[in-house]
Amino acid sequence: MKNVFVVGAGPAGLFAAQKIALAGHEVFVFNRDIKPGGLAEYGIYPTKTTMKSGLRKQFSRVLSLPNLHYFGNVKIGSAYDVTLDDLKALAPSALVVTCGAQGYNKLNLSGENAKGVYSAKDFVYHYNQLPPYASEDFSTGKRIAVVGMGNVAADVMRWLLEDSPGRQTEEVIVVARRGPYEAKFAVKELGHVEAHMDRGEFIQELERVKARCVACDQDVSVEKIGNATFPGLRKDNLVQASPKLTFRFLCSPKEIVVGPDGRIRQLVVTENDLVSRGDGTTGAKATDNTAVLDVDTLIFAIGDKQDSGLGLPMGPDGYATKPNFESPSEPVYEMWDPRTAKSLDGIYVAGWARLASTGLVGIARHDGENAAGKVIEYLKAVPEKDSLHAFEIEALLESKGLHPVNKCDLFTLGRVEEREARARDLVSFKYSDNRAMLNAIRQEKPATAANVLLAARQPLKVPATESLGTLLTTR
Ligand X SMILES: Cc1cc2nc3c(=O)[nH]c(=O)nc-3n(C[C@H](O)[C@H](O)[C@H](O)COP(=O)(O)OP(=O)(O)OC[C@H]3O[C@@H](n4cnc5c(N)ncnc54)[C@H](O)[C@@H]3O)c2cc1C
Interaction between residue 80 and ligand X (CB under 6 A):
yes
Which window, 10-18, 241-249, 251-259, 281-289, contacts ligand X (CB under 6 A)?
10-18
Q: Which of residues 122-181 bind ligand X (CB under 6 A)?
A: 124, 152, 155
* C-beta of 43 vs 116, nearer to ligand X: 43
φ/ψ of residue 235, rounded to 5 = -85, 125
SS3 breakdown of the chain: % helix, strand, coil, rounded to 5?
A: 35, 20, 40
Name residues whose C-beta falls within 8 Å of residue 111's C-beta, 6 or more positions apart in sequence: 117, 255, 256, 257, 258, 264
Give the x/- contact pattern for ligand X in 323-362, rule: CB under 6 A. ----------------------------xxx-----xxx-
Task: Please tell me the number of Cα atoms within 13 Å of 291 on its side-chain side.
Answer: 13
Strand partners, 337: 342
Which residue of 3, 31, 282, 321 would you call a contact of ligand X, by CB under 6 A? Answer: 31
| CB of residue 253 to ligand X, shortest distance in Å | 20
Contact yes or no for 178/282 (Cβ under 8 A): yes
- The secondary element (H helix, E strand) that includes residue 290 is strand 282-294
Considering only 3, 5, 6, 10, the residue that binds ligand X (CB under 6 A) is: 10
- Contact between 114 and 258 (Cβ < 8 Å): yes
| Residues of span 34-53 touching ligand X by CB under 6 A | 38-40, 43-45, 48
# binding residues, ligand X (CB under 6 A): 37
Using CB under 6 A, which of the segments 33-41, 138-146, 255-263, 313-321 binds ligand X? Answer: 33-41
Residues numbered 302 to 321 that lie near ligand X (CB under 6 A) are: 310
Residues 56, 44 contacting (CB under 8 angstroms): no
Residues in a beta bridge with 264: 258
> What secondary structure does DSSP assign to 22-50, as a single string?
HTT-EEEEE-SSSSS-THHHHTS-TT-HH
Contact stretch for ligand X (CB under 6 A) within 2-10, 227-235, 287-295, 328-336: 2-10
* Contact code string over 214-233 relative to ligand X, x by CB under 6 A: --------------------
Please give the residue ranges that form the binding site for ligand X (CB under 6 A).
Answer: 7-13, 30-33, 38-40, 43-45, 48, 75-77, 80, 98-100, 102, 124, 152, 155, 310, 351-353, 359-361, 364
